[in-house]
Structures are given as structure tokens and as C-alpha cells.
């Protein structure tokens, strides 16, 4: 594989950049693989990469119905954080933060990881207390957390509305300075290119139409491009998990919902990090190009549409303008939507199943992007060793029956209000 560097850039400039190697091949599916990963998004590509790199399993195929990187890896708002209260979530995502820090070097692809920090705003004394508790829990797990008072928040985001007669006056906030953003599509290309170079077959435009299960064991899959034999399948199809689970006669603690995001026209730098305004159902960051990247609530009813309705965007931006009045002067460039696996406690599932050789990676709700490296790493371990790693022990499928929920927000099973 050609290494990307300043030297290869100069060298290829002499041939008008017409002789670059393909970043990954377009293979026809083989008859049999050791492991088949279904879903060529961030999680699937990362899983295949770590299977090859950490476990030396290279006879792997990634089966993707559309094109790689066409789902939520290219639709999210690129936020990377580990500001969780519960141990299982905190340790898992902090492990991921370390992978993020080295990702550009490791993948030889600039993912533009930018640890610019995140602030969750608080609007009451009670919320400040809750954030103090969450911050303390984070610090016990080695994650940087800083409780900010009103004046400290004002120094960071002076353009926010700090008047005292607003519906949600800013009391302070909880910051994680090491959180940040990255270029989301580069993460997909980086993992895909490295996985391909180690022998993984990335098979696009190939729909899974059925599973071959006998005696409780996975024997293979049926696809639109022929049958493929395999003993192990990793399902990484957040957003369509329920659709494939139905083909396996499985029902899961997951509902599929639609989440929208939008960006404004680009403006000069005004916002340094990520700001979340939970009370107003709104969060925002500024991209390197200068666009304000914004999002908020789910559309609020089961949906596979991958495009949203206007009332939710209006609701989100109403909250946005309440916090940052200057937003009212900006034009919106685009809005889009993606479909989310909303799990019943807001935390993901990475586990084995009752079918031997079927491994499940799903339930990412709207926080899957930050977990791409840690999810791929632990899922690869789970598939290769046929047992869960201690980092994803808490993300078991049977935690609901056992009562060990990871309900970070404590919202109960109404996934659409998350």
C-alpha cells in the first residue's frame, strides 16, 4: 500500500495526481470467509481492521448494502467525548479516546481529530449538583472533568445569552476539555484503506437477504451477490438492526428512530468547542470550514426514512436561537437525517447471541461516532476470542432481563423521548 505523506504528495504532483493507487479494491465475494462483517459503516470497518491487526484474522469480508461510509458515519455531528457517569460507559469510551488520539498516525490518514472540548450547560442549582456528581464519577475513571461556574462559562462562550430573565439562565456547566471533533468520513476511509491492505474484502452494493442457520449455529449468509459460507458473523448495522434481526427471528430491546442535524453557512471562527444545551434540546459546534453544526432531538416516532420533518428542525433551532441569538442571522446550508438504533436504556449492545457464531453490535442510539474505535476494538476481540472483553462486559444483551441497565439519562423505555 502506498503511504500517504508529503513526499508521496510531491511525487504524485509530477504525474498530475493521476497515478495514485486505489484506496481499496472492489473484489467479487469469495465462497467462504472466516468472518463476515455485515455493515460497512464506521463500526464494521473498524471491527474488520482490528480483526486483521490485533487478531491476525484477515480472511474477512465486509458486506455493505449501499456504499461504505454512506450511513451514520457520514451523517453524524462528529462529536467525540467520554463524559459518562457509569463505569461501563466511562471506561469503554475513555479507552476509545486513546485510540482517537493516535488514529491519524495509526491509519496513515488525517482524521483531523481536534480535542477542542465540550461543555454541557446547567440551568439550576440542582443541575449543577448533578453535574458535580457526574464530574466526580468521571474523574474517578481518569477522565478530565471541570465544573464551570457562570463566569467561567461566560469567558468561553461570551456570545451566548447570559441575561437573567431567560427561560433557562446559565448557572454553569460541566466541561470535558479532552473531548472534541474529527472528520467523520475520513475515519471510514482510513479504516477501510488499512483493512483492505491487510486482506479484508470490502464488498459494496451487496445486500444480505438471509441467514443460513442450522443446529443453532451460523453456517453462512445469502446475499444479492450469491451465498457465502462462514462460521462467524458480526452484525454492525445500526439503524437496520431490527430489519436483519427479523430475518433471524430475533426481537431486540431496540427501536429505530430518526435523528436530524443541520449546518449553517460558513462564518468566521466564533465557537471554540462543542456546547450542549440539554434544556433547549440543542447542541452546536463549529466545523473547521466555519459552518455551525447543530442537532437536537429525535423526530419522535419510529422511522426508517433517513430524512426528517420540519417541525423538529424548527424546534431544535428555536432552542439554538434562545442560547445563541446570533444564529437567527445565519442561513441554513443543509439539513439531513439518519436512523438510530435506540436501545431501551440508551447504551449499546456488543455481545454474543444465542446463535453460535452470531455476534451483535448495535443500540448505539445517537452516540455511535465517538465509539467507532472502541467498538471496533472490543467487537473484534469478542468475535476472535468468542468471548466478551472486560471493556464491553456491561454492554450485554441480557442486562435488561438481569436488571443491570446502563441508563445514563434515566429516561426509561420510551426511546423516542431520549
Partner 1 sequence: MLYIKCPYCGYRSQKEFAYGGDGTIKRPELNQNISDEKWDEFVYFRKSPRGKHIELWHHIAGCRQWFQVQRNTVTHEIFQTAKMGEDIK
Interacting residues of 40 by C-beta distance below 8 A, sequence separation 6+: 62, 63, 64, 67, 68, 69, 192, 202, 204
How far, in Å, CA of 372 to CA of 352, rounded?
19
Determine phi and psi for 282, rounding to 5 degrees: -155, 140
How far, in Å, CA of 226 to CA of 248, rounded?
18
Q: Which of 293, 341, 258 lies closest to 181, judged by CA?
A: 293
175 is a site residue for partner 1 (CB under 8 A): no
Segment 182-241, which members bind partner 1 (CB under 8 A)?
240
Q: Nearest distance from residue 348's CB to partner 1, in Å?
A: 15
CB-based contact 353:328 (threshold 8 Å): no
Binding-site member from 302, 321, 336, 355 for partner 1 (CB under 8 A)? 302
Of 253 and 319, CB closest to partner 1:
253
Of 187 and 344, CB closest to partner 1:
344
> What would you measure as the largest C-alpha separation in the chain, in angstroms?
67
How far, in Å, CA of 50 to CA of 373, rounded?
9
Binding-site member from 216, 226, 311, 325 for partner 1 (CB under 8 A)? 311
Interacting residues of 325 by C-beta distance below 8 A, sequence separation 6+: 161
Which strands, in side-by-side order, build the sheet including 60-63? Answer: 201-203, 60-63, 35-38, 232-235, 358-362, 349-352
Of 13 and 310, CB closest to partner 1:
310
242 is a site residue for partner 1 (CB under 8 A): yes
Of 374 and 418, CB closest to partner 1:
418
77 is a site residue for partner 1 (CB under 8 A): no
Number of residues that bind partner 1 (CB under 8 A): 25
Instruction: Count other C-beta atoms under 10 Å from residue 125's C-beta.
Output: 10
Of 166 and 305, CB closest to partner 1:
305
120 is a site residue for partner 1 (CB under 8 A): no
Of 218 and 252, CB closest to partner 1:
252
305 is a site residue for partner 1 (CB under 8 A): yes
Interacting residues of 191 by C-beta distance below 8 A, sequence separation 6+: 42, 45, 46, 48, 49, 107, 372, 376
62 - beta bridge partners?
A: 37, 202
Q: Nearest distance from residue 412's CB to partner 1, in Å?
A: 9
Binding-site member from 54, 246, 272, 386 for partner 1 (CB under 8 A)? 246
Of 16 and 251, CB closest to partner 1:
251
Of 240 and 264, CB closest to partner 1:
240
Q: Nearest distance from residue 300's CB to partner 1, in Å?
A: 5
243 is a site residue for partner 1 (CB under 8 A): yes
CA Rg, the chain, in Å?
22
262 is a site residue for partner 1 (CB under 8 A): no
| Residue ranges in contact with partner 1 by CB under 8 A | 240, 242-243, 246, 251-256, 300-305, 309-311, 344, 400-401, 413-414, 416
Amino acid at each position: 500500500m502506498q503511504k500517504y505523506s508529503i513526499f508521496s504528495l510531491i511525487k504524485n504532483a509530477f504525474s498530475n495526481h493521476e497515478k495514485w493507487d486505489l484506496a481499496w479494491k472492489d473484489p467479487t465475494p469469495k465462497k467462504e470467509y472466516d468472518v463476515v462483517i455485515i455493515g460497512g459503516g464506521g463500526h464494521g470497518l473498524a471491527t474488520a481492521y482490528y480483526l486483521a491487526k490485533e487478531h491476525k484474522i484477515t480472511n474477512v469480508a465486509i458486506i455493505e448494502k449501499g456504499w461504505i461510509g454512506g450511513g451514520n458515519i457520514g451523517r453524524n455531528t462528529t462529536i467525540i467525548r467520554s463524559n459518562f457517569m457509569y463505569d461501563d460507559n466511562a471506561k469503554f469510551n475513555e479507552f476509545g479516546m486513546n485510540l482517537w488520539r493516535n488514529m491519524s498516525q495509526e491509519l496513515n490518514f488525517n482524521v483531523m481529530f481536534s480535542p477542542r472540548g465540550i461543555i454541557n450547560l446547567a440551568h439550576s442549582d440542582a443541575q449543577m449538583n448533578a453535574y458535580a456528581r457526574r464530574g466526580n464519577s468521571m474523574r474517578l475513571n481518569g477522565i478530565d472533568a471541570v465544573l464551570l461556574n457562570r463566569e467561567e462559562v461566560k469567558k468561553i462562550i461570551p456570545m451566548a445569552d447570559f441575561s437573567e430573565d431567560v427561560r433557562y439562565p446559565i448557572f454553569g456547566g460541566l466541561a470535558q476539555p479532552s473531548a472534541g471533533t474529527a472528520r467523520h468520513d475520513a475515519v471510514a476511509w482510513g479504516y477501510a484503506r488499512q483493512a483492505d491492505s491487510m486482506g479484508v474484502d470490502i464488498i459494496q452494493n451487496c445486500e444480505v437477504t438471509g441467514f443460513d442457520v442450522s443446529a443453532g449455529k451460523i453456517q453462512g449468509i445469502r446475499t444479492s451477490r450469491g451465498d457465502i459460507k462462514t462460521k462467524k458473523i458480526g452484525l454492525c448495522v445500526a439503524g437496520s438492526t431490527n430489519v436483519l434481526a427479523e430475518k433471524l427471528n430475533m426481537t431486540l430491546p431496540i427501536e429505530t428512530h430518526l435523528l436530524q442535524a443541520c449546518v449553517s453557512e460558513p462564518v468566521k471562527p466564533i465557537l471554540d468547542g462543542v456546547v450542549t444545551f440539554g434544556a433547549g434540546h440543542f447542541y452546536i459546534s463549529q466545523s473547521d470550514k466555519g459552518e455551525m453544526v447543530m442537532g437536537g432531538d429525535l423526530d419522535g416516532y419510529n422511522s426508517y426514512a433517513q430524512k426528517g420533518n420540519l417541525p423538529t428542525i424548527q424546534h431544535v433551532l428555536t432552542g439554538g436561537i434562545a442560547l445563541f441569538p446570533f444564529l437567527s442571522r445565519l442561513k441554513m446550508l443543509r439539513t439531513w437525517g439518519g436512523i438510530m438504533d435506540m436501545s431501551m436504556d440508551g447504551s449499546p449492545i456488543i455481545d454474543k447471541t444465542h446463535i453460535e457464531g452470531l455476534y451483535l453490535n448495535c443500540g448505539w442510539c445517537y452516540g455511535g461516532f465517538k465509539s467507532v474505535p472502541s467498538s471496533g476494538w472490543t467487537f473484534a476481540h469478542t468475535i476472535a476470542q468468542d468471548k466478551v472483553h472486560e471493556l464491553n462486559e456491561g454492554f450485554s444483551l441480557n442486562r435488561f432481563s438481569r436488571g443491570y441497565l446502563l441508563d445514563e439519562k434515566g429516561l426509561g423505555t420510551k426511546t423516542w423521548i431520549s
